[in-house]
Every structure is written in structure tokens, then in C-alpha cells.
Amino acid sequence: MERAALLRSLSCTSLASNRFYFRSFVPRAKFSSSSVAVARRNHHRLINNLTRRSLLRGDSRLHLSLSSYSLPFNKHFSSLSPNAVASPSTPSSPEVAEVSNEVAEKLGFEKVSEEFIGECKSKAVLFKHKKTGAEVMSVSNDDENKVFGIVFRTPPKDSTGIPHILEHSVLCGSRKYPLKEPFVELLKGSLNTFLNAFTYPDRTCYPVASTNTKDFYNLVDVYFDAVFFPKCVEDFQTFQQEGWHFKLDNPSEDITYKGVVFNEMKGVYSQPDNILGRAAQQANSLQSGNNGKLVHSLFLRSFTDKALFPDNAYGVDSGGDPKVIPKLTFEEFKQVQPPNESIVEKQKLFSEPIRIIEKYPAGDAGDIKKKNMVCLNWLLSDKPLDLETELALGFLDHLMLGTPASPLRKILLESGLGDAIVGGGIEDELLQPQFSIGLKNVSEDDTQKVEELIMDTLKKLADEGFFQNISYFLSSKPCFAPTTPTNTLGLSLLP
């Protein structure tokens, strides 16, 4: 079987995302929008918020407790050819063939390290571009589904949605492929098994996959040219189409805002779970005022603008806030900061807890007094975790919440205080890990009881531990078994 080396990621500095996700895309993560493999107009986010206050009918609230125990790339990459380069076929063994040092040197790269990963029967080789610092990871194995992903660090400075609008816009024509929407043409004519782009709070990913080698390298070539030489930075109409523009259908009606990203974010900002997540994570989502629309009840300290990430890029919305997106101008869009100059500052841990209460649109159905949502959130570390600690927290998260018999999950659901779990447990996809847990559809009188139940259960687990047959419990879960190449393996390794 012919097998080309798998190019996993190209990031503009060595400080880019450095963890693999050995799980399906968008795992049991909190506050995520759904994933559609062939729909480019998907924005994968951890958190979102509401937009239309007119949807409010009553006092349903979110109760959160927070603690902390131009793309001006051309000048940087003009010497880096966007053309895909095939590599030799690669068997699945430690002696697997790899990109030769001669080829790497010719393209301006140097080999940094290589390793055989027995768990997924793959040979991994890390290269670094000498001039720009861009990193390329080549992972070779027997998987016939060839996957490529190019990843840029794109931490935002505000909630105008520049990373998200760029994600859409760069796939609307490039120097080599000056079509209106090459992405749509690829969907119609390619043999791809995956074709998409994703905006995270701190990075943007462009993954493609195909089992056909020629088709695979064609997809790679299109994506390379799109991200390095996009037409969108010179096309105001693309900015209006993908970002925002004014629309007036009838002179007697009010002028409205439209745009692909603007409309998409209006939708995700109307989902209660996303509102809860945004209130927990983003400081700027909480805007004080005397209009009665947002209410903040503070605990132990007197400040009104705190969330888990009040001081860094995670405190704003990379996807764009519909109230802020129309403030973005085309000139600002063109002058976006190169990703190799972008970093995410570490968030300092809190010295004491914070309580936040915010309203959300609960709708008309059911008892409005029983639609409260309560969630406790912890920022776990002021720096990225080492692999051993991250693995340990994964086990702990699974023990507490991973199955119907898990103690924290079982106690919360059987308490009768709410109908479903919110929060999702450990979230380690950002620079600093966090833990969130709570209940939805809680009576207003029971909100404090939920908080007390969570704290009491965690203290009991810390003092008494888990049941004795823990080894059987863990071994029965397939996610802890060795991984073998599958048609989703390459996608699961993307950062």
C-alpha cells in the first residue's frame, strides 16, 4: 500500500500548541457547539453568550462559583513553497521510512527529534523551519486515511471575531486558486474523508484528509495557498460576506446586520449552555449596568468584572460577540498581527472565590423558577500541566464523572436538585486546565444546595478515596486501552 508521510501541523513558533488529543474531536467538553465534518461554517468554541435580551421572560439565572486552587504572512514565508511534497511509503514498524534529511534541508528544515510511538504504531519526526521557526510533525503508519493539518496561534485581543472571520475568509480564494469559494469546489469534486476549519480560543486549525494520495496532496496544496496567500486581505466584499455588513430589504424597515460569522455567532449565543460557559470563562462577557439585564452577586470580594480568565486572551471571544463584531473595520481586519508574534499570557490564580449571577433566555415552556443553572469552576494551575499530572487528572475526571456509577455524577443526578450535568469536568484544551461541574434545571431555592453538595462530595472523595476495585473499573473502559491506527487517528492527533 502506498503511504505518504502524514504532515500533522505547521505552527509559526515552537511555543504553539504542544499537546496531542487522544480522543475524538470535541470530546465530552463543556459548552461546545456540535461538529459537522463537511461543513466549513462551523465554529468550534468552548463558550458563547446570548444576544437578544427581548427573549427574556423571567428570572432564570446562571449561578457560577469561580475559584483557583493581512495575514501579513507573505514576508515571513516567501521562501517556503506552498506546494505539497510527497514522501515515500512507510510501513508500520520502528524502522519505518521517513522524510530524508536531504529533503528537509533542501526545503529549509532541520530535524529536531524522532520517536516511534508504540501505542499507535507510528513513527513521529519533528522538523523546524530554520528561517521562520515553523514546526512540521510527520507521523507515519499503516493508516490509509492520510491527514494534514496546518495550525496557527491566533489568540484574540478583543471580541470582534477576527480569528473566526479569517478562518472563513482565507478559504474564499487565493493567489493560485482565485475562485470565489475553492472550499465549495473541493466539497463537490474531492475524494476527501474530512474537510474543515476550526477556530479555538487561542488557535485556528485547517485539517484535511483523504485515502487517495493524489487527492490528498491536492487538498494540502489548496489549503497551503489559502492560508499563506489569501485574497481576502484585499477583498472588501469577502470581509462583508464572511464578517458583517448592513442590510436593508425594505426602506420602511430598520437596517440590520448580516454576515456568515455574525449570523452564526448569533445562533450560538442563544444557547443556555454556551451562555453558562462564557460567563465562567470570559471576564468581558459581564458588563455592569443599571438596566436590570445583567445581575452580579459577588462573594467575598467587591469587583464586578471577574471570570476564570479576566486578564488574558481567553477572557474575550475569538469567535466574535455579535454585539462587538460590527465594530471591526476592514482596515483592522487586514492588519491582523502575525501569529508568530502572538502569545497567551498566563492567568494568575485567584486568592478567594467569586460568585457570578447572570440572566439567560429561558423560553416560555415549563416552570421558569426551575430553569436555573448552577456551575462551580476551578482554574487548576497557573501553568500548563506536565504529562504525568495531566494523565492523572484524566483518570480522576473519569472516576468522578465518566460513567453512570461515578460518585460525583451519580450523587448529583440522584439528588433531585437538577435534571442534567453541566460543566463537563476537566477541560485541558487551553493553556491552563480548568474543572467545572454543576446542574441545570435547578429550582431557585436549591441553588445553594447544589453548591454545598458538590463541595461536600469532593471533600469526601478527597478524604475517603474511591472504591477498592478501581483497577477493574479502569480496565473496563476502552479509552485506556492501547490505540491502533484507525480512519480517525490522524484527526485525533491534531492540536
Per DSSP, the residues of 15-53 read TS------S-SS-S-TT-----TT-SS----S------G
Kindly report, residue by residue over 68-118, the tens digit of the pLDDT: 543 333 333 333 434 444 444 444 444 444 567 888 899 999 999 999 988
| 102, 110, 115, 167: the active-site residue | 167
In degrees to the nearest 10, what's the CA dihedral of 454, 459, 460, 464? 150
Q: How confident is the model at residue 275 (pLDDT cuts 50, 70, 90)?
A: confident
pLDDT, greater one: 282 or 375: 375
What value, to the nearest 5°, has the Cα angle with vertex 419 and ends 416 and 423? Answer: 115
Choose the weakest-confidence range: 125-129, 139-143, 487-491: 487-491
Q: Do residues 198 and 495 touch, judged by C-beta distance below 8 A? A: no
Position 469 scores a pLDDT of 55
Distance between CA atoms of residues 257 and 92, nearest Å: 53
Span 18-23, average pLDDT: 26
- Look over the chain and give the mean of its residue pLDDT values, rounded to a whole number: 75
Known catalytic membership, residue 345: no
Please tell me the chain's helix, strand, coil percentages from 3-state DSSP, rounded to the nearest 5: 30, 20, 50
- Residue 182 — pLDDT band, cuts 50, 70, 90? confident
- 261-287 as b/e, with b when 16 or more CB fall inside 10 Å? bbebbbebbbbbbbbbbbbbbbbbbbe
Q: H or E element: which one contains 394?
A: helix 387-401
Alpha-carbon distance of 241 to 234, in angstroms, equals 14
pTM for the structure as a whole? 0.74
Q: What local confidence, expressed as pLDDT, does residue 338 receive?
A: 58
Pairwise pLDDT comparison (310 vs 23), residue with the higher score: 310
Q: Is 107 helix (H, G, I), strand (E, B) or coil?
A: coil
Taking residues 171-185, report their average pLDDT: 89
Per-residue cell: 165:
472571520
How do residues 321-377 score in pLDDT, each as one tens digit? 999 999 999 999 988 765 556 788 889 888 888 888 888 887 777 778 888 999 999
For the cut 50, the answer to whether the pLDDT of residue 19 exceeds it is: no
Distance of alpha carbon 191 from its chain centroid, rounded? Answer: 26
Annotation marks residue 242 as catalytic: yes
> 185-199, 215-229, 251-265, 471-485: which range is least confident on average?
471-485
Sign of the torsion formed by the C-alpha atoms of 283, 284, 290 and 291: negative
Residue in 135, 242, 264, 429 annotated catalytic: 242
pLDDT at 473: 56
